[in-house]
Amino acid sequence: MSLTPAAGGSPAETCSPDVSIVVPVFNEEGAAVDLAREIARAFAGRRFEIVFVDDASRDGTRAVLAALAAEIPELRVLYHQHNAGQSRAVRTGVLGARGAVIVTLDGDGQNDPADAPRLVDRLVAGGSELGLVGGRRTKRRDSAAKRLGSRFGNGLRRRLLNDQADDTGCGLKVFRRDSFLRLPYFDHMHRYLPALMLREGFQIAFENVNHRPRTSGASKYNNLGRAWVSISDLMGVMWLRARARDPQAIGEV
């Protein structure tokens, strides 16, 4: 897979992108513009597109992004008529993406876009068997309560699913579009991508990435709410993994 820029013109005008950066956003008017600009700088020199998915924000998120498209030709803005959650927004972005490689980033600006090209290179170098490269946040810039809740949740999930992931809550992930579309969709699936990729027979890998403090807006999650939905999610993913059957190899005569 080539990840070199096309000759002449902007990537959006001359050819299909190699990489689509998908960013789900909900009420992130204060962070969205700077984040889009950072992404464009991080991927300068590559064929890329940026796909923001506005999950029915109630502030000016969609408007400020639409205005920014004149400055960043690689930027596309999709939107939901009704709020459907982060996993649905990620799926909307992947379905609408034109690149074979997908990067996801949280829309609050806490993921550092400068890390993303390194994860893309790791995925491409790993060949078709490597289905996902996930970020592993170092020096978390969240509250002590959120860090503690995340540590407990990650430990329990890893023990029950054996998914190799220390930090599946990190929004920075890189995977192939066709691999993602083979996975079963359900709400909150974005937190279980390592386990779901393993279920499909793919290998997964992780890279340490930067984590930044939130500078605007408010978190959409809390420990109690996340724990409540995680119980049914974990049971569902455990069932999916238990019901998987691996043919080992597929041939054609």
Read off the CATH number of the domain in which 46 is found: 3.90.550.10
For residues 93 and 190, the answer to whether their CB atoms sit within 8 Å is no
Task: Identify whether 91 is part of a domain.
Answer: yes
pLDDT in tens, 29-56: 999 999 999 999 999 999 999 999 999 9
Query: What pTM does this model have?
Result: 0.84
User: Domain of 116?
Assistant: 12-141+167-215
pLDDT > 90? residue 4? no
pLDDT in tens, 195-252: 999 999 999 999 999 999 887 766 655 555 566 667 888 889 999 988 888 887 788 9
User: What is residue 146's DSSP assignment?
Assistant: H
Beta-carbon contacts of 181 under 8 Å, excluding residues fewer than 6 positions away, are: 94, 95
pLDDT in tens, 68-116: 999 999 999 999 999 999 999 999 999 999 999 999 999 999 999 999 9
pLDDT > 90? residue 138? no
pLDDT > 60? residue 194? yes
Provide mean pLDDT across the span 168-189. Answer: 95
Distance CA 159, CA 152 (A): 11
Task: Identify whether 117 is part of a domain.
Answer: yes
Count how many domains the chain has. 1
The pLDDT of residue 10 is 44
* SS3 assignment, position 182: coil
Task: Identify whether 34 is part of a domain.
Answer: yes
Task: Identify whether 121 is part of a domain.
Answer: yes
